Amino acid sequence: DGGITQSPKYLFRKEGQNVTLSCEQNLNHDAMYWYRQDPGQGLRLIYYSQIVNDFQKGDIAEGYSVSREKKESFPLTVTSAQKNPTAFYLCASTPGLENYGYTFGSGTRLTVV
Chain positions contacting other proteins, by CB under 8 A: 4, 35, 40-45, 48, 50, 58, 90, 98-107
Please identify, using beta-carbon distances, which residue of 73 and 80 lies nearer to other proteins. 73
Cα 48 to chain centroid distance, Å, stands at 8
Please identify, using beta-carbon distances, which residue of 2 and 40 lies nearer to other proteins. 40
Pairing of strands 10-13, 108-112: parallel
**Of 75, 107, 73, nearest to 89 (Cα)?**
107
- Helix (H) / strand (E) containing 110: strand 108-112
CB of 106 to other proteins, least distance (A): 5
CB of 62 to other proteins, least distance (A): 15
Please identify, using beta-carbon distances, which residue of 18 and 96 lies nearer to other proteins. 96
Cβ atoms of 22 and 75 closer than 8 Å: yes
CB of 19 to other proteins, least distance (A): 21
